Structure 1
């Protein structure tokens, strides 16, 4: 009876195509042609008897079977890499998988990753993002950067950065806000995935929320864009939101009315003692970088 275990090269091609969501980008990473990537993915799908990708004009996305298969493939490839490194020494390139909550990736990580890559050019880092607890479940990564209660995500971790909340709006609207009560004349854009939001801001400052009208979004990047378009007033979450607030042209409405958030960003991992070398290097860098961000 023949084995259904696919070719290792097919799995490498599948992993690269899934991670980049493009046969062309996977081809560049693997030093292959896009046609060869497509052929090898097709061979894998034929062997498994099921499609792994939905093909689009300029991209590919995983099918349900592909999404279920990817974590096992990534973990298996990393186990082979780790075993090879342990027996035969360091490989030229080491792969590292990091998943981060979207706002932290956009507002904190994006600016610093070039420095990490310059310091560790042999680490091939793959960064993915999520927004809610379920995005971080049943997915293989070395490290996860999450917001909120770390016990919901992993067994060990480090606190990275806490947040400060204050209202922001386009300059013309911000100029009309003289007191906290003036906020109630506008729609308040609420991020539904955060426990500390507008009600927390009002309560901490001991201000009546009155008949506040809310518009709900599921992340702070969307909230900033909605505010910039004139929909209402958003809540900044400094320092992670600094970049998107600046890009959206938003300014503080009440600069003195800043409130500490209730939760923090955390770096989560299964075990510090068994952490792979690339992950340990990233952790060391991130702890120093996060400290620098908070002390600016």
Structure 2
């Protein structure tokens, strides 16, 4: 049976009491009486039908269930506080929330963050990552950077750049590959969430793959980790994957060999005219930054 989310007050009291290991100290922090803290904790335990604290004479200790519950409660309260302050606090115009595809965030935003911050020191940028449509439907963001069909994510937007695909592996494996046909004798690491993968590379190159051994990963970052372990050959997705490729110690397998991908990265948002000032500045910076690298 589903359990409804408890009262926010109960959760705040639980978190303070757990952190202080004392109802009295939690009461002082929250400007409540110790009896009121105890009462709200008891109400939470009754709602959850689970004991969260072991009561002692002058202290309380979390039960196993309480210890398991605490990190999630703390994260939820922190997210709620930061979002509230960012949207409605005194500095709300200078808070910026961006959600981006993981590979783009790792390969483009992480590298460019310093440049943006230097130009806009008054803006606090929070970057969250995701890969699926479901990831991008959770929580608030001013702007989203997605890969694929932009209409599935936002009402308005613009293309940033597309990608080029080419095989990469550890240097000792790459040295064994001197022609595209040599790829067919390797284990190929495929990212199943992309439209353009190894079959697209083979078709674009006029190669009939026949029987090929594949293993699957859920992201390019994971595919590179597998390639780094010597498992097989992965596909680079330049330029977003350049940084991850270098960090994994991978090299191109065939110099000058690449094919164009089928999709592009897009910046999306509900309404350009309604963007907050920080979001408008980020949009202008990102479009120019990506144009220099495409």
Structures share a fold, TM > 0.5?
Answer: yes
- Which 4+ runs in 1 deviate beyond 6 A? none
The 8 Å contact of residues 98 and 125 in structure 1, kept in 2 or not, is answered as yes
Q: Distance in 2 between matches of 1:79 and 1:243?
A: 33
In the alignment, which residue of structure 2 is the partner of 1:245?
Answer: 245
In the alignment, which residue of structure 2 is the partner of 1:88?
Answer: none
In the alignment, which residue of structure 1 is the partner of 2:61?
Answer: none
In the alignment, which residue of structure 2 is the partner of 1:201?
Answer: 201
Q: How does 1:61-140 map to 2 (within 5 A)?
A: 61=72, 66=76, 77-81=85-89, 91=91, 94-140=94-140
Q: Distance in 2 between matches of 1:114 and 1:124?
A: 12
| Structure 2 residue matching 1:211: 3-state secondary structure | coil
Q: How does 1:1-296 map to 2 (within 5 A)?
A: 60-61=71-72, 66=76, 77-81=85-89, 91=91, 94-294=94-294
The 8 Å contact of residues 93 and 122 in structure 1, kept in 2 or not, is answered as no
Structure 2, gaps ≥5 residues long? 1-6, 20-24, 31-36, 49-65
| Superposition RMSD in Å | 3.2
Q: Distance in 1 between matches of 2:67 and 2:160?
A: 39
In the alignment, which residue of structure 1 is the partner of 2:63?
Answer: none
TM-score by length of 2: 0.74
Q: Distance in 2 between matches of 1:95 and 1:249?
A: 36
| Structure 1 residue matching 2:158: 3-state secondary structure | strand
Deviations, residues 45-74 of structure 1 (Å, cap 9, x unaligned): x699589xx867xx93458x949x957x76
Aligned-pair CA distance for 1:102:
0.4
Aligned-pair CA distance for 1:139:
2.2
Given the superposition, is the C-alpha separation of residues 196 and 93 from structure 1 closer, same or farther in structure 2, using an over 3 Å criterion?
A: same
Which structure has the larger Rg over C-alpha atoms? 2
Q: Distance in 2 between matches of 1:155 and 1:62?
A: 33
Structure 1, gaps ≥5 residues long? 15-22, 24-34, 85-90
The 8 Å contact of residues 86 and 92 in structure 2, kept in 1 or not, is answered as no
Q: Distance in 1 between matches of 2:183 and 2:73?
A: 44
Aligned-pair CA distance for 1:254:
1.3
Deviations, residues 128-155 of structure 1 (Å, cap 9, x unaligned): 1111221111321001111010011111
The number of residues matched between the two structures is 246
Q: Distance in 1 between matches of 2:123 and 2:67?
A: 30
| Structure 2 residue matching 1:231: 3-state secondary structure | coil
Given the superposition, is the C-alpha separation of residues 203 and 60 from structure 1 closer, same or farther in structure 2, using an over 3 Å criterion?
A: same
The 8 Å contact of residues 99 and 129 in structure 1, kept in 2 or not, is answered as yes
